[in-house]
């Protein structure tokens, strides 16, 4: 576990999303959970060593299974943005580890089986304040990676958790994204309002301003190429040509490379079909 600021910690050891915990007098504010049930139990046990108040909440930065599958194992109140809560309302009660490969981390967990979701019990639209200590913890809606994506902002500590808005050394998840909104959120993060902040990626821990800029450049390149394809009426099959150029800046093992290729294949095709292709209305 890594200390980021006073009473702010992250854990990047578990498969899936980077986890966060904020230690407050009232209790622990947890950010995301590991998708593996075994890892979730281990993480929950590790948090028992914290000396704080008795209350616990879990914040889901979006609806992705990599950060939400383990929520029930954390055994506490779950908070999410309203559009993330809507996703859970449309999902079956249980999750079955089968179906289309999306290039997510949970798909590499052996014997995952059936898992019961823990839908958010508290949701918000634009902003929510948690007054658990001297200074509030601010939850902010910033769509882009998904409609219900959010940040956890600690202005007094100058720390912000940004979820999948910025990823370290791995490609983005695009299937449920909105790329113009993604670029808008990245521009906010690069503005003077966040000068001096420590940025916590939902996959990879702390990230630099240079990495945020590189993420913006990649998202813009992908968006521009998809726009050109759409203007020509290109088939969704052609998104395959964008995979390797989008991966060229990432260094990964052979196994991870295969996973990341599939992540982009699935994401690019679904994004293009949903936003541009003539069949998108029927699919939605």
Residue 242 lies in a domain: no
Output the CA torsion sign for 87, 88, 90, 91. Answer: positive
Give the pLDDT of residue 280. Answer: 42
pLDDT band at 90 (very low <50, low <70, confident <90, very high): confident
| pLDDT tops 60 at residue 281 | no
What is the helix (H) or strand (E) element at residue 174, kind and residue range? none
For residue 115, the cross-strand partners are 95
User: How many CB atoms within 10 Å of residue 58?
Assistant: 27
> DSSP letters along 56-114, please?
EEEE-SSS-HHHHTTHHHH-SEEEEEHHHHHHHHHS-SEEES-S---S-GGGGSTT--E
Q: With respect to residue 276, please indicate whether it lies within any of the assigned structural domains.
A: no
Residues near 121 by beta carbon (within 8 Å), at least 6 away in sequence: 77, 78, 79
Per the structure, how many domains does the chain have?
1
C-beta separation of 127 from 53 below 8 A:
no
Query: What band does 278 get if pLDDT is binned at 50, 70 and 90?
Result: low
Give the DSSP letter string of 98-146: -S---S-GGGGSTT--EEE----SEEESSEEEE-SSSS-EEEEE--SSS
Task: Provide the whole-model pTM.
Answer: 0.92
- Residue 282's pLDDT is what? 36
Asked whether residue 249 is domain-assigned, the answer is no
The whole-number pLDDT of residue 99 equals 63
For the segment 51-67, the average pLDDT, to the nearest whole number, is: 92
92, part of any domain: yes
Which of 71-85, 116-130, 227-241 bottoms out in mean pLDDT, i.e. has the lowest?
A: 227-241
Residue linked to tokens 């450049």: 217
- Residue 30 scores a pLDDT above 50: yes
* Residue 47, H or E segment: helix 37-47
Query: What pLDDT is recorded for position 185?
Result: 97
- Let me know if residue 194 belongs to a domain: yes
- 179-196 burial, b at 16+ Cβ within 10 Å, e below that, comes to bebbbebbebbbeeebee
Does 89 map to a domain? yes
User: What pLDDT does 79 receive?
Assistant: 97
pLDDT greater than 60 at residue 33: yes
Distance CA(11)–CA(73), nearest Å, equals 17
Structure tokens at 13: 């050891």
Q: What is the pLDDT of residues 102-154, one digit of tens each?
A: 989 998 888 787 888 889 999 999 999 999 999 999 999 999 999 999 999 99
Mean pLDDT confidence for 65-76: 92
Look at strands 127-130 and 150-154 and give their pairing: unpaired
pLDDT bracket for residue 275 (50, 70, 90): confident
Residue 65 resides in a domain: yes
User: Rounded mean pLDDT of the chain?
Assistant: 91
Q: What are phi and psi of 9, to 5 degrees?
A: -135, 155
Kindly state whether residue 279 falls inside one of the protein's structural domains: no
- CA angle in degrees (0–180, nearest 5) for 71-73-77: 55
User: Nearest CA to 119 among 139, 93, 152?
Assistant: 93
Over residues 209-219, the mean pLDDT reads 96
Parent domain of 57: 2-231
Alpha helices by DSSP H, listed for 192-279, are: 209-231, 243-247, 254-275
CATH number for the domain that contains residue 142: 3.60.15.10
């Amino acid at each position: 576990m890594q200390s980021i600021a006073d009473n702010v910690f992250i854990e990047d050891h578990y498969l899936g999303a980077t986890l966060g915990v904020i230690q407050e007098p009232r209790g622990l504010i947890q950010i995301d959970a590991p998708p593996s049930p075994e890892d979730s139990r281990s993480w929950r046990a590790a948090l028992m060593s914290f000396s704080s108040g008795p209350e616990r909440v879990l914040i889901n930065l979006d609806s992705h299974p990599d950060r939400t599958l383990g929520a029930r194992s954390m055994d506490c109140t779950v908070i999410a943005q309203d559009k993330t809560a809507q996703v859970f309302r449309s999902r079956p009660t249980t999750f079955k580890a089968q179906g289309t490969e999306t290039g997510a981390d949970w798909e590499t967990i052996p014997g995952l089986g059936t898992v019961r979701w823990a839908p958010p019990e508290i949701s918000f639209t634009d902003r929510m304040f948690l007054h658990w200590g001297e200074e509030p913890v601010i939850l902010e809606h910033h769509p882009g990676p998904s409609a219900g994506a959010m940040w956890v902002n600690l202005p007094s500590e100058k720390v912000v958790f940004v979820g999948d808005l910025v990823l370290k050394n791995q490609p983005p998840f695009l299937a449920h994204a909105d790329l113009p909104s993604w670029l808008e959120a990245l521009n906010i993060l690069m503005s003077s309002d966040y000068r001096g902040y420590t940025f916590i990626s939902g996959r990879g821990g702390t990230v630099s301003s240079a990495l945020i800029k590189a993420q913006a450049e990649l998202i813009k390149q992908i968006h521009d190429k998809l726009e050109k394809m759409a203007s020509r009426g290109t088939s969704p099959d052609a998104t395959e040509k964008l995979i390797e150029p989008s991966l060229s800046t990432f260094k990964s093992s052979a196994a991870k490379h295969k996973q990341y290729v599939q992540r982009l294949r699935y994401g690019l095709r679904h994004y293009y079909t949903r936003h541009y292709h003539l069949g998108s209305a029927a699919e939605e």
